[in-house]
Amino acid sequence: MSFSTEVKGELCHLPMTDPGENRAELAGLLATAAIANAVLKFVTESAFVAGRLRKLSRALYGDGGLTLDFDGERPGGRRRLYRIGCEDAAQVQRICRDCRIGEGGRIAKVPPYFLAHQKHLKAYLRGVFLGSGSITDPKKDYHLEIVHKCASLLESMVAILTGYDIKAKLHRRGGDCVLYLKESGSIADFLGLVGAHKAMLRLEDLKIVRGMRNDVNRQVNCDVANLHKTTTAAQSQIDVIRRIDDAVGIAQLPPDLKQLAALRLENPDYSLKELGEQMDPPMPKSAVNYRLNKLKKMAREI
């Protein structure tokens, strides 16, 4: 089961105890339906969404609301299609009136009627997401989107989400308009807003794990880079010492330089700090670096 299906499954199992919320959620769902010539049609591949829409309709209109039909298994392993609709002109008119859907299914923006109460607004947004939204598995990428023909509806949703500090953007995809979220924080906030609290917590957990993994990778990369830098510098110092040894012999060096040269040859993987700790008497890294530069200068003069 995909993450998107899990999220919709969670949303579709939320309690339906408030008629106002039920109507708002139904309105959001039907905002993504096809309504023309007094006929209402909604098609989905999601059994969760189909069942939710049917239950909302039954809670509000009884058995005289929307009807449900579905295909058998489709060829090629494709999921079956669920068709929910109504061809009773009077009933369609009533449903559209209750859901603030204009003639011919026209919706220019989130209906002001559903803005009066926070819980109704959240239910409406939940319905729109169930009808035409999707979310990518956060293990792969952070992306949530809602696709709709009506740009002005999504524009009004962007304005609403901005009020919740949720950063949503729009772009065109063919003949559709797409509202999308790319920031993990905004996606988590949206999931919480519409009621998918389990999915929100799972996303937050994955975000923490990913952050820890990235921190570890950065530290490892930093350590590897530092090791490479140390190894390269040590090899250069060893080359200098061998040049001096070939020319005059390490034994001819002053005691401190002779000791340091011998330590470096014996310990090519030591850092300057570690070399200083092995000196007798021990010396700070700056003193070790100063003496290595003296050896380098001697090698250049040979």
DSSP-assigned states of every residue in 201-258: HHHHHHHHHHHHHHHHHHHHHHHHHHHHHHHHHHHHHHHHHHHHHHHT-GGGS-HHHH
Question: Does 250 have pLDDT greater than 90?
Answer: no
- pLDDT at residue 77 in the model: 55
Going by pLDDT thresholds of 50, 70 and 90, the confidence category of residue 17 is very high
pLDDT at 230 over 70: yes
pLDDT at 206 over 90: no
List, in sequence order, every residue forming a beta bridge with 133; answer none if it has no partner: 146
Average per-residue pLDDT for the chain:
89
- Please give the pLDDT value at position 38: 76
CA separation for the pair 279, 259 (Å, rounded): 7
Model confidence at 78, pLDDT cuts 50, 70, 90, reads: low
Q: Give the whole-angstrom CA distance, residue 183 versus residue 273.
A: 43
Please report how the helices 3-12 and 197-247 are oriented relative to each other, as an axis angle in degrees rounded to 10.
Answer: 150
Full-model pTM = 0.71
pLDDT value at 49 more than 90: yes
Q: Is the pLDDT of residue 48 over 70?
A: yes
> What is the pLDDT at residue 133?
97
Residue 170: strand pairing partners: 179
d(C-alpha 6, C-alpha 48), whole Å: 10
Roughly what angle, to the nearest 10 degrees, separates helices 47-61 and 3-12?
Answer: 20
What whole-number percentage of the chain has pLDDT above 90? 56
* Distance from C-alpha of 227 to C-alpha of 233, rounded to nearest angstrom: 10
| CA separation, residue 92 to residues 30, 39, 84, 148 (Å) | 11, 7, 12, 21
User: What pLDDT, on a 0 to 100 scale, did the predictor assign at position 102?
Assistant: 84
pLDDT at position 74 is 54
Mean pLDDT in residue range 80-85: 87
- Tell me how many degrees the CA angle 136-128-167 measures, rounded to the nearest 5: 60
pLDDT above 70: residue 241: yes
Q: Are 257 and 296 in contact (CB under 8 A)?
A: no
Residues of the chain with CATH 3.10.28.10: 3-195
Handedness of CA 106, 112, 116, 117 (dihedral sign): positive
Q: Give 302: exposed, middle or buried? Use CB within 10 Å, 0-12, 13-18, 19+.
A: exposed
Class of residue 132 by CB neighbours under 10 A (exposed 0-12, middle 13-18, buried 19+):
buried
- For domain 3-195, the CATH architecture is Roll (3.10)
